[in-house]
Structure 1
Amino acid sequence: MGTPTAIGIATGTDAAPARHADAVLLQLIWLASPALPVGGFSYSEGLEAAVDAGLVTDEASARDRLLDQLALVQARSELAAAASAFVAWRCGDVARAQALNAWVAVTRETAELRLQSEQLGRSLAQWLRQRHPDDARVAALDALAPAPTWPVAFALAAAATGASPRDALLAMAFGWAENQVHAAVRAVPLGQSAGQRILGALAATIPAAVDDALARSDDTRQSFAPMLAVLSARHETQYSRLFRS
């Protein structure tokens, strides 16, 4: 058995598991990065409409809105659907993935929200085709009708890394948080330091949101955020917009 070096890096037979864990972590960081070419940065998920309506005006109101959205939308719907889809892809249960994809599609309450989920899902499916051209699950994802949705597509991307469900959802939630903070910095607008404080508040709350999502079943998963739906609908006809939702 290998022995640790002076700086604590495993060698010999201990190194292989460490390298695998490193590779999984880097894959999750990659998936969570705003640089992932799916276009997540172009959506504010109603935040821009909230700014236009005077509901979000400063750091505190932006932080509170995003914390509410994490608990009421991400944990109960997006992350919960992704958690179930993750298990389905790991088991090769395409029918289950199809059913979850249909649930996500029909629970989008506005055209913008559905466009967002489907556009991100299609873009991630294309990225996965390039990285895993021989994985039959990628072809199954691509064939989902009317389109792959974001939570179901992300679940497959994360499952392909070998990550645990909880780590996969942590990455998904942080990617969402980073995109939304960037939107807030641009739309409110806020300074970079304010954005970092909001991101810190979200990061501190994400583990609990992920645990909530993992504990949800088909009977407790839900998509019910009336104010988000109203703001999203208003955004569709908003005179001046930076974002697609």
Structure 2
Amino acid sequence: MADLLRLLQFGDSALPIGGFSFSSGLETATEIGLVHNVETLEAFLDAALRISASGDGVGLVCAFRALEAQDLDALSAVDEEINARKLNEETRLMSVRMGRKLVELSAHVVGDPINVEWLGRIRDGRTPGTHPASLAATSAGVGIRSDEEAFALLNYSLATAILGAALRLMRVSFVETQSILWRSMEKVPEAYAAIEGATLDDMAGFAPVTDILAALHVKGHLRMFMN
């Protein structure tokens, strides 16, 4: 029960690691009319989760293997690969900010030795500290026992961040966003099964429209969310 409660705590959308400060491209998508109702919002979220699964999801699985071997050098190597595959500035910034905040929070609250050492590497500039790699590093301390659980948490965090942004950006209700979340989470087990045995060579994130939206957001004059 204790592990479940800790997992719920660190899976909370209000966890103060900065996820609520980014819209993952949704702000620009709503501004240009690409996302304008419940149906297009759900399609946007589904696309974001597919992109995350083939990119950060694969990186997370590989990071978890390095963590299970207690090899922080290997974890750093995975971290570098995850960071290198983020083509736009906004996505890289979001990942490393959330990753660092997650490790700082876990180091303060939990104090797991591996997590504390990982935080030291981030602060010394020896590793970027992306969110997927940092999620793997903090896993044992916060009750995550498998890469499957970590993958679920990664997807839930992304989905709640995007849907939370939608509530501030467009005319959509809490009931509608919760319905979208329910349907989206039903697809996560299948997404995990597709990447469970993946290697770093399989990590990819071909998403030109998302990259363009992020680039437009960086140069935008009026913004509610960070870039």
TM normalised by structure 1 equals 0.85
Distance in 2 (CA, whole Å) between partners of 1:239 and 1:140 is: 36
Q: Is the 8 A contact 2:28 2:217 kept in 1?
A: yes
Partner Cα separation in structure 2 for residue 169 and residue 128 of structure 1: 18
Superposed CA RMSD: 1.6
Cα distance in 2, alignment partners of residues 118 and 79 from structure 1: 15
Question: Is 1:159 aligned with 2:137?
Answer: no
Q: Shift in Å at residue 213 of structure 1?
A: 2.9
C-alpha change, 1:85 and 1:198, in structure 2 (3 Å) is same
Distance 1:134 1:154, change over 3 A: closer
State the shift of 1:134 in Å: 5.6
Q: Is the 8 A contact 2:76 2:127 kept in 1?
A: no
Indicate which of 78, 85, 101 corresponds to 2:79.
Answer: 101
- My pick for the range that moved more, 90-99 or 206-215, is 206-215
User: How far 1:212 moved relative to its partner?
Assistant: 2.2
Structure number with greater Rg is 1
Aligned CA distance change for structure 1 residues 233 and 136 (closer, same or farther; 3 Å): same
Deviations for 1:146-192, whole angstroms, at most 9, x for unmatched residues?
Answer: 53111101112223325222122112211221111111121123111
Contact 2:115 2:138 in 1 (8 A): no
**Cα distance change, pair 141–213 in 1 and its aligned pair in 2 (3 A):** farther
Letter in 2 for 1:149: T
Moved more, 203-212 or 225-234: 203-212
Count of residues paired in the alignment: 223
1:141 is displaced (CA, Å) by 4.2
- With the length of structure 2 as denominator, give the TM-score of the two structures: 0.91
Name stretches of at least 5 consecutive residues in structure 2 with no aligned partner.
none
Unaligned runs of 5+ in 1: 1-21
Opposite residue 57 of structure 2, the aligned amino acid is: L
Alpha-carbon distance in structure 2 between the residues aligned to 1:195 and 1:224: 26
The residue number in structure 1 matching 2:152 is 170
1:51 aligns with 2:30: yes
Percent identity reads 27
2:67–2:137 contact (8 Å) kept in structure 1 = yes
Runs of 4+ off more than 6 Å? none
